[in-house]
Amino acid sequence: MVPETAPVGYPLFSRIRLATPSDVPFIHKLIHQMAVFERLTHLFSATESGLASTLFNSPPFQSFTVFLLEISRSPFPHLASSDFTPFLKTHNFDLPTEDPERLVFTSDPGNDVVVAGFVLFFPNYSTFLAKPGFYIEDIFVRDCYRRKGFGRMLLTAVAKQAVKMGYGRVEWVVLDWNMNAIKFYEQMGAQIMQEWRVCRLTGDALQAYSKVNM
């Protein structure tokens, strides 16, 4: 006789927590994978030391902030925190998840925990609202963990934090040909602002300003 509460399929446990300086090697690998996915490796010049020296210099949410998505085959402990109490979720998938990069993304070997994705965000500001918001620079889930709702979890975690802090907006950008992403973001309640274009001053064009007189 099978008890009614018996698990069916393949259970998996996820956690979204604040990243710490010791997570930099994982964050660096994830950013590089994102550059490969976007075919933009020619623009990628981040190093672990560059990340380590520019992230984690402010309390969480006040400046650049990283949430890490972790996955385990065992439940995570419930740990409250004054900064951010991690989100925990239990999943049940029809098929097992094979992670070919398990070894390089193991964050807690004793508990079978791997890093599966991240979101990096920071405060922005709306003068029309006279309120801060959050801008999401990157949201990324590793290939073998996609199409399982983890991207939605990461975006939801940022949106919930924004509401909690009384912020007015969460914003990010999407490539106009990425119809899957656009559809997903619209389902999440976002408007796609068709008329705005991003302007970027960088590289030599930016450096030249050191010599420009007013």
Judged by CB under 8 A, the residue of 51, 69, 114, 116 near a second copy is 51
Compare residues 2 and 78 and give the one whose CB is closer to a second copy.
Answer: 78
Chain positions 14 to 33 lying near a second copy, rule: CB under 8 A, are: 16, 31
185 is catalytic: yes
Locus of tokens 């109490």: 85
Q: Which DSSP state fits 7?
A: -
Tokens linked to 126: 């709306």
* One-letter amino acid of 74: S
The separation between the first and the last C-alpha atoms of the chain, rounded to the nearest angstrom, is 82
Chain positions 160 to 189 lying near a second copy, rule: CB under 8 A, are: 160, 162-164, 168-177, 182, 185, 188-189
Our finding on whether 157 is near a second copy (CB under 8 A) is: yes
* One-letter amino acid of 63: S
Chain positions 65 to 94 lying near a second copy, rule: CB under 8 A, are: 87-89
What residues have CB less than 8 Å from 185, skipping those under 6 apart? 172, 174, 192
Our finding on whether 13 is near a second copy (CB under 8 A) is: no
Locus of tokens 């509460």: 5
What is the C-alpha separation between 108 and 115, in angstroms, rounded? Answer: 9
* Contact characters 134-153, a second copy, x per CB under 8 A: -x-xx--------------x
* Contact characters 108-127, a second copy, x per CB under 8 A: ------------x-xxxxxx
Active site members:
185
